[in-house]
């Protein structure tokens, strides 16, 4: 698919997990992708993904990398803030960007995934006294009876960044397999 042909995307934290899946999906959809991360992976199978060293907790470094990517490529069409995301701050920032920059054609959305089957989640399971029991409990809480896959988040991100979603802006999109849809529960429910 070439929905992002000729576009330049910057994805923070694209070295593993959800970020890596998003970077790979945007590249397969035609974008040149810059992975801005503290971890330098190699993508020999995807030459359209390049690397910029970035610690997202350093605001000046973030400005420098964004400026360099835009200057080097003559544009920056897609920005995915995947690394170091705090949900409440991210949603508020999404809304502010959408309102403040809409007249310039800038859209801003937030994807709020639930449990995604990543290495990070697996580390959490393994840190528990009974990893299998915790994994089963988390999975059984989901009405779909499974967890989200990183590629599902990546597909959604690619669509939201495309012209097909041209009117989507200013909103958080919850991607949790109906986990939080209209139900209240505690983790101790039987």
User: Distance of CA 148 to CAs 52, 138, 188, Å?
Assistant: 28, 12, 22
pLDDT of residue 182: 64
pLDDT tens digits, one per residue of 128-178? 999 999 999 999 999 999 999 999 999 999 999 999 999 999 999 999 999
Q: What is the average pLDDT across 16-36?
A: 96
User: Full-prediction pTM beyond 0.95?
Assistant: no
Per-residue pLDDT tens for 36-92?
999 987 788 999 999 999 999 999 999 999 999 999 999 999 999 998 767 788 889
Cα 99 to Cα 89, 109, 142, distances in angstroms: 15, 11, 34
DSSP string, 66-110: HHHHHHHHS---EEE--TT--HHHHHHHHHHHHHHHGGGT----E
Using the predicted structure, report yes or no on whether residue 188 has a pLDDT greater than 80: no
Among 9, 12, 15, 46, smallest CA distance to 118 is for 15
Q: pLDDT confidence of 187, banded at 50, 70, 90?
A: low
What's the mean pLDDT in 82-111? Answer: 90
pLDDT surpasses 70 at 186: no
Confidence band, pLDDT 50/70/90 cuts, at residue 184: low
In order of their start, the domains of the chain are 8-115+150-175 (3.40.50.720)
């Amino acid at each position: 698919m070439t929905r992002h042909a000729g576009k330049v995307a910057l994805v923070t934290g694209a070295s593993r997990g959800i970020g890596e899946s998003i970077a790979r999906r945007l590249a397969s959809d035609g974008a040149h992708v810059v992975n801005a991360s503290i971890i330098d992976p190699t993508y020999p199978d995807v030459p359209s993904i390049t690397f910029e060293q970035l610690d997202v907790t350093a605001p000046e470094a973030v400005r420098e990398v964004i400026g360099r990517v835009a200057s080097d490529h003559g544009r920056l069409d897609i920005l995915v803030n995947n690394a170091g995301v705090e949900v409440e701050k991210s949603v508020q920032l999404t809304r502010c960007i959408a309102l403040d920059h809409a007249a310039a054609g800038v859209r801003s959305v937030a994807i709020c995934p639930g449990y995604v089957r990543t290495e990070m989640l697996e580390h959490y399971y393994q840190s528990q006294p009974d990893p299998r029991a915790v994994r089963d409990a988390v999975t059984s809480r989901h009405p779909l009876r499974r967890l989200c896959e990183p590629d599902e988040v990546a597909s959604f991100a690619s669509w939201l960044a495309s012209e097909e979603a041209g009117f989507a802006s200013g909103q958080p999109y919850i991607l949790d397999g109906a986990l939080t849809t209209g139900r209240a529960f505690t983790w101790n429910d039987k």
